[in-house]
Amino acid sequence: MVRIIDYKKRQAEDGREFFVLEISGGIEMVKSQTSNQFYATAKKAFISSTFDEQTCKALIGTEMPGNVVKQECEPYEYVNKDSGEVMMLSYRYVYTQEEATISKEDKSIQRLLAEENTFSSNGHHKEEFVM
């Protein structure tokens, strides 16, 4: 699951303004390469939208199925806002929808088990809840 945590106003190449939704994935524990200590973080990404500002404000806090994943891209310079350090990065974080959690094989097995219990084997139907 991802959660909408904020929104930003952006400008298209043709000058039109639009809003992007800032989303955050779940909390992750990452081990620092310098101190060897763990710290909590969350991956964030932006999704373009067709919503107006009022709708974007109302959507903050909404959860949606999906994940924020790391995606390789062309290298680019990134400036750390806190330290001013300039880094070369070759990845970005993007939103992806979750795959169905039940595979086709699992569905087939569930359907087979349901069909097996549809009729009684002794001519008497016994009602019971089958999962």
Residue 21 and residue 117: Cα distance in Å, rounded? 48
Name the pTM for this structure.
0.66
**Where are the alpha helices (H) located in the chain, listed in sequence order?**
53-59, 104-116
Identify the pLDDT of residue 100.
46
Per-residue pLDDT reduced to its tens digit, 60-87: 999 999 999 999 999 999 898 888 889 8
- Mean pLDDT within 103-108: 59
In the chain, domain spans: 2-117
